[in-house]
Amino acid sequence: MLAARLVGDRAGDWDRAGRLPVDVVRALNTAGLLAPQIPTGYGGAGWSSLDSGEFTAKVGSLCSSLRSVMTSQAMAAWTIERLADRAQARSLLPRLAATDTAAVAFSEPQAGSDLSAMTTTVTMTGDTLRLDGHKVWVTAADHADLLLVFARLGDQGAVVVVPRATPGVRVHRRADPLGCRAAGHADVWFDAVRLPTSSLLGAGGQSLSLLVTTALSYGRMSVAWGCVGILRACLTAAVAHAGSRHQFGRPLAQHQLVARHLADLWAAEQVATRVCEHASRCWDTGSPEVVTATVLAKYVSAGHATRAAADAVQILASAGAVDGHPVARAYRDAKLMEIIEGSTEMCQLMLADHAVNRR
Closest residue by beta carbon to ligand FAD: 112
By CB under 6 A, the residues from 102 to 121 that bind ligand FAD are 104-107, 112-113
**By C-alpha distance, which of 26, 276, 2, 297 is closest to 140?**
26
Residue 32 or 226 having the CB closest to ligand FAD:
226
Smallest distance, Å, CB 47 to ligand FAD?
22
Interaction between residue 345 and ligand FAD (CB under 6 A): yes
In residues, how long is the chain?
A: 359
Using DSSP's 3-state secondary structure scheme, residue 320 falls into coil
Smallest distance, Å, CB 345 to ligand FAD?
3
| Residue 23 to residue 112: CA distance in whole angstroms | 32
Q: Nearest 5 degrees, angle CA 110-CA 112-CA 118?
A: 55
Interaction between residue 279 and ligand FAD (CB under 6 A): no
Contact 127/196 with Cβ under 8 angstroms? Answer: yes
Q: Which of 163, 343, 351, 354 binds ligand FAD (CB under 6 A)?
A: 343
Quickly list H helices, the chain. 2-7, 11-17, 22-30, 49-62, 64-83, 86-98, 208-244, 256-285, 290-316, 326-337, 344-357
By CB under 6 A, the residues from 137 to 156 that bind ligand FAD are 137-139
Q: What is the size of the binding site for ligand FAD (CB under 6 A)?
A: 19
By CB under 6 A, the residues from 63 to 102 that bind ligand FAD are 72
> Which residue type, as a one-letter code, is found at position 142?
D
Q: Which of 31, 50, 291, 339 binds ligand FAD (CB under 6 A)?
A: 339
Site string for ligand FAD, 156-195 (x = CB under 6 A): ---------------------x--x----x----------
Contact 12/325 with Cβ under 8 angstroms? Answer: yes
Residue 177 or 320 having the CB closest to ligand FAD:
177
Residue 235 or 340 having the CB closest to ligand FAD:
340
Integer CA distances (angstroms), 343 to 171, 298, 299, in order? 25, 9, 8
By CB under 6 A, the residues from 35 to 64 that bind ligand FAD are none
Using DSSP's 3-state secondary structure scheme, residue 4 falls into helix
Footprint on this chain of ligand FAD (rule: CB under 6 A): 72, 104-107, 112-113, 137-139, 177, 180, 185, 336, 339-340, 343, 345-346
